[in-house]
Amino acid sequence: MKNLLHDRKIWAKPGKKHHVSDFDTEYTADFIKKNDALDKLDKNLEEMIQMQDKLYADSRYSLLLVFQAMDAAGKDGTIKHVMSGVNPQGTQVFSFKTPTATELDHDYLWRIYKRLPERGNIGIFNRSHYEEVLVVKVHPEFLLRQQLPDAKNLNSINDNFWMQRYHQINNFEKHLSENGTVILKFFLNVSKEEQKKRFLKRIDDPARNWKFSANDVKERSFWNAYMQAYSEMLTHTSTDYAPWFVIPADNKWFMRYAVSNIIINRLKELNLEYPTLPPAEMAGLEQARQMLMEEK
Ligand code: ATP
Ligand code: MG
């Protein structure tokens, strides 16, 4: 299995300038067609289950998976698929929506901090603190609601302001990583044409109508501004301790495969093992065995 962790077609190498258009939305690595990947995907899901079990038993690390994407790129489906089979006891999914009044009364990382996974657990963020440099950057008027001393009006929101935000996010993630949170960030990169096809499908198919919101088409009209914001996000916040992966999203089967490949290869680097008991407790096990065997 090709390790996609450092595949330059997917991995936004830290310290480099990136643009979304440098990444191919149709890339499929070594696979030519869907069927070639399906067996491998099944194997990956099996392996995920075993690795999660070890992560939980080891209880030193937590794994944070961040998902960001344009609408209809397939966040929900990918999360559902990649996590299928893993023990629900060790996973938490959280979807971040428009901040509430209470959330706006705190700094933007407050609500994020509260949802971080516990040691041994996998936490999945469906949208995240990155909305703060994506939707908020495309619509800076959202910032005024945050009542920030440095952003009293739209004129005061300049490049420095955003650089400071990237810096804050990097510091936050560095702190987490130094304290045992392993962070992987996925930008599901769908093309504008493919998004249109998927929207039309949602409109045409009654079973998919519920997934469609008229606002999604409005946001689509800001496509270029979003791509610019994503590009700057990749350039400034892909780091060794919390790298971004630009997952080609036009082929859903490859998107799922690629995400599972990256998670597994990263978990392998942790060399997780089931804890071994200290000698005194091992002796206790032997005693317990004897008691059980001697039962009448
Ligand atoms: P999704 O589109 O992720 O499948 P959904 O359709 O269930 O989710 P929406 O209400 O459409 O729910 O999505 C959440 C909305 O909240 C998005 O438009 C997103 O940009 C917005 N949002 C999330 N975080 C923030 C934030 N920090 N500031 C402003 N808007 C935010
Ligand atoms: Mg939506």
What CATH number does the domain containing 209 carry?
3.40.50.300
- The count of domains in the chain is 1
Residue 4 lies in a domain: no
Residue 114 has pLDDT above 80, yes or no: yes
pLDDT tens for residues 184-240? 999 999 999 999 999 999 999 999 999 999 999 999 999 999 999 999 999 999 999
Q: Are 41 and 257 in contact (CB under 8 A)?
A: yes
In a domain, 1, yes or no: no
Write down the pLDDT at residue 203. 96
- The β-bridge relationship of strands 122-126 and 181-189 is unpaired
- Mean local confidence (pLDDT), 117-124: 98
Atom 22 of ligand 1, nearest CA residue: 98
Domain hosting residue 174, numbered range = 11-293
For residue 6, is it within any domain?
Answer: no
Domain contains 173: yes
| Predicted local distance difference test score (pLDDT) of residue 117 | 98
pTM score above 0.85: yes
Looking at residue 296, its pLDDT comes to 87
pLDDT of residue 33: 87
**Rounded CA separation 72/86 (Å):** 24
Q: How far is the CA of 219 from the centre of ligand 2 (A)?
A: 10
Can you tell me the distance from the alpha carbon of 182 to that of 179, in angstroms, rounded to the nearest whole number?
9
pLDDT band at 293 (very low <50, low <70, confident <90, very high): very high
Reported as a single tens digit per residue, the pLDDT across 133-177 is 999 999 999 999 999 998 889 999 999 999 999 999 999 999 999
3 falls within a domain: no
Q: 123 CB under 6 A from ligand 1?
A: no
Residue range 265-277: average pLDDT? Answer: 95
Three-state secondary-structure class, residue 123? strand
> Does residue 26 fall inside a structural domain?
yes
Mean pLDDT of the chain: 96
Name the residue among 100, 73, 12 with its Cα closest to residue 220: 73
- Domain membership flag for residue 2: no
Tell whether ligand 1 has an atom less than 6 A from the beta carbon of residue 250: no
Q: List the end-to-end C-alpha distance of the chain, in Å, as a whole number.
A: 53
Nearest to 117 by CA among 94, 97, 92, 96: 92
Q: What is the pLDDT of residue 150?
A: 85
Is 272 among the domain residues?
Answer: yes
Structure tokens at 240: 């060794």
Q: Does 56 score more than 90 pLDDT?
A: yes
**Residue 139 alpha carbon to ligand 2 centre in Å:** 16
Per-residue confidence (pLDDT) for residue 81, from 0 to 100 = 93
Please give the pLDDT value at position 85. 86
The string of pLDDT tens digits covering residues 3-49 is 999 999 999 999 999 999 999 999 999 998 899 899 999 999 999 99
How many A from CA of 213 to the centre of ligand 2?
A: 7
